[in-house]
Chains A and B, each alone.
Chain A
Amino acid sequence: QKEVEQNSGPLSVPEGAIASLNCTYSDRGSQSFFWYRQYSGKSPELIMFIYSNGDKEDGRFTAQLNKASQYVSLLIRDSQPSDSATYLCAVTKNNDMRFGAGTRLTVKP
């Protein structure tokens, strides 16, 4: 079992729709959860992080964490073509950060 699992996609949504990205993790002791966005040929860049159960909103982005289910998600409201990228879920325990394989999102105009 992989430490961090994501649906590789591709996930395709029309412009203006809500994109929902999901991630599960195997270690119940995981402490913090991050979402990164990576454009093709570029380095990952942080979108947001969450460490408590529930929802956390930042602009068009909402992260949701359910530690009992070992599940974290990212919702992107009013999706734009510029949101087309690979989204990486990352999980930390102690001092290191482990990444999922990423979900490729395409937002069609």
Chain B
Amino acid sequence: DAGVIQSPRHEVTEMGQEVTLRCKPISGHDYLFWYRQTMMRGLELLIYFNNNVPIDDSGMPEDRFSAKMPNASFSTLKIQPSEPRDSAVYFCASSLATGVNSPLHFGNGTRLTVT
């Protein structure tokens, strides 16, 4: 399996622009997670989906952030408008199930820089 695929690997944009991050989970995995990682705050859970349905978006920082999963093989995380404090590495991860014996498989991440 190719693993979790994220694109782009790097994104540099100006404040106020719209940013869209993309993720293809591992085939057959029912859960998809979006995390953000910064030096100050570590890995933060933003939102997760089960069978394409958003289950918990309490980690989404503001209304500027939105996430969708139109089908089992694709998800997007959108930031509109972007701000410098959004600069971070964004990881997508998927798992076969959750809880016991269900580790997350991470993509390579998207490094976002907002100037």
**Residues of A bordering B, CB below 8 Å:** 31-32, 34, 42-46, 49, 51, 88, 90, 92, 94-102
Residues of A within 8 A of B108 (CB): 42-43
A46 to B93, CA, bound (A): 12
Alpha-carbon gap, A45 to B3, bound state (A): 12
Which residues of chain B have C-beta atoms less than 8 A from A42's C-beta?
Answer: 108
Q: Is B106 a contact partner of A92 (Cβ separation < 8 A)? A: no
Q: Choose one: B48, B50, B103, B109; the contact of A34 (CB below 8 Å).
A: B103
Asked whether, in the complex, the Cβ of B99 is within 8 Å of the Cβ of A88, the reply is no
- Which B residues are CB-close (under 8 A) to A46? 103-105
Q: How far is the CA of A88 from the CA of B37 in the complex (A)?
A: 12
B25 to chain A minimum Cβ distance, whole angstroms, is 14
Q: How far is the CB of B3 from chain A (nearest CB, A)?
A: 10
Instruction: Report chain B residues within 8 Å CB of A99.
Output: 35, 42-43, 45
Q: Is the CB of B56 within 8 A of A95?
A: yes
Contact B45 A98 (CB under 8 A): yes
Residues from 88 to 115 in B contacting A, C-beta threshold 8 Å: 91, 98-109
Q: Which residues in A have their C-beta under 8 angstroms from that of B50? A: 95
B42 touches A95 (CB 8 A): no
